[in-house]
Amino acid sequence: MGHPTIYPTGVTLYNPKKAWSGYTIFQVKGLGALLINMNGKEVKLWRNLQGFPNKILPGGYVLGSTGERNTAYGMQDMLDLVQVDWDGNIVWKFDQKEFIADPGEIPQWMARQHHDYQREGSTVGYYAPESEPLVDKGNTLILTHENVKNTKITDKLLLDDKIIEVNWEGKIIWEWSPNERFDELGFDESAKNILYRDPNMRPAGGGMGDWLHINSLSLLGPNKWYDEGDERFNPENIIWDSREANIIAIVEKKSGKIVWKLGPNYDHSEELKKLGWIIGQHHVHLIPKGLPGEGNILIFDNGGWAGYGSTNPVSPTGRQNAHRDYSRVLEVNPVTLEIVWQYTPKEAGLLEPLDSSRFYSPFVSSVQRLPNGNTLITEGSDGRIFEVTVEHEIVWEYINPYKDEKKLPSMNMVYRAYRVPYDWIPQLEKQDERAIEKIDLKNFRVDGSEPIGVVEDTSVKGVIGYKENGAFCVISNRESD
């Protein structure tokens, strides 16, 4: 679809009576970690603090990274994971995952963190009334990279998504590697065939297979399923999702076994068929206790292209063999697999299938459940963050005005955004909340000219236009459209 070349940025809509108000943080490429209020005012920038993603902690602390590995040798490897205070001073740092000596680079320790991490006290990294991330102690769960060889999967070098847990002193106290659980992932023979031949090869480091591309991880935390006796949902267990393989899984922390899984195929039962194919998903997590929908799984189901399996007209090799050109936000009961709530092109008021791709982010993106039952959605590829009610009404919307000019084409992409309460940031006075009404698009003109709608003059009946300097300008003729 074509997109307008001119469009508003910043906050375009805000209903204070229906929104859950607070501060929103996200990463702006080339600038740093940006904190905005509900009217889009930029209240704090941690300049040059990178974030994959940035997360804010009570007291005005922020988690992020000081830099990224040279992409000639690594793919999305952050040098470290740091916690900075309000003034940007580093108060905690982890980089002792692996000592790297890339050609032409200064040898150094790196975290190789990517996509996600969780500080003890909070299972998901966003506000929930019954949990709070620790700021001066505690362990941190980190998603990292590791280069491995596993001939059961392929004869090529693999970029594995290793999960580690580190204590406050930076010592690794637990680790889990998905390549070691290959037989538990449920790939059929056609998927294994293409995985062996092409495990999503990337050029970094002379070539390596980004075979799973896990992009989220979190603890399950206290939940009703475990309280009812379902051991799969032990609060210490870890949920993660694979963007490339269309897999969502729960790992039993004490044994490392996969004890619950969705994907990689979604046609093996009536429940799965009704759920529909989940493709290229991001930010899968269990809604924390104390929030509406607690215990259900939230998913930003990107669509786009992903998966391994049989060939088809859009996938002559069998890699990225599942396609869908629109996104979905799903809240799913993990026991019955029923969709409890969703936001899809239909709920967005789009004409299906003609306009479905107008709600579409084939990469990045996230979703957060808010205390009033609303849902904060990051439609990341278009730099759009918006809040919807249970009834799917948009009550806040923000368009990122900043583009990454270092990349062509330049993009205003937002990887992930988080909303936190005002009292987490004591350094700021509570912000003014000024309602921003929805623009009446059919009557809005950049030049201020007066729209007049359908003209009733018999000579131009059915013509839509506007008056400018006393002249009538034609937009379209309804009878010929």
Mean pLDDT throughout 128-144? 97
Phi-psi region of 447 (alpha: psi -120 to 50; beta: other; left: phi over 0): alpha
For residue 452, the model assigns a pLDDT of: 63
Q: What is the pLDDT of residues 102-134, one digit of tens each?
A: 999 999 999 999 999 999 999 999 999 999 999
Segment among 220-234, 247-261, 368-382, 401-415 with least mean pLDDT:
401-415
pLDDT digits (tens, 9 = 90+) for 236-271: 999 999 999 999 999 999 999 999 999 999 999 999
What local confidence, expressed as pLDDT, does residue 106 receive? 96
pLDDT in tens, 160-202: 999 999 999 999 999 999 999 999 999 999 999 999 999 999 9
Percent of the chain with pLDDT over 70: 93
pLDDT at 478: 38
- How would you write the chain as a 3-class SS string? CCCCCCCCCEEEEECCCCCCCCEEEEEECCCEEEEECCCCCEEEEEECCEEEEEEEECCCEEEEECCECCCCCCCCCECCEEEECCCCCEEEEECCCEEECCCCCCCEEECCEEEEEEECCCCCCCCECCECCCCCCCCEEEEEEEEECCCCCCCCCEEEEEEEEECCCCCEEEEECHHHHHHHCCCCHHHHHHHHHCCCEECHHHCEECCCCEEEEEECCCCHHHHCCCHHHCCCCEEEEECCCCEEEEECCCCCCEEEEECCCCCCCHHHHHHCCCCCCEEEEECCCCCCCCCCEEEEECCEEEEECCCECCECCCEEEEEECCCEEEEECCCCCCEEEEECCCCCCCCCCCCHHHCCCCCCCEEEECCCCCEEEEEHHHCEEEEECCCCCEEEEEECCCCCCCCCCCCCCCCCEEEECHHHCCCCCCCCCCCECCCCHHHCCCCCCEEEEECCCCCCCCEEEEEECCEEEEEEECCCC
pTM: 0.93
pLDDT per residue as tens digits for the range 58-99:
999 999 999 999 999 999 999 999 999 999 999 999 999 999
Domains of the chain: 10-439 (2.120.10.30), 441-481 (no CATH)
Residue partners of 351: CB distance under 8 A and separation at least 6: none
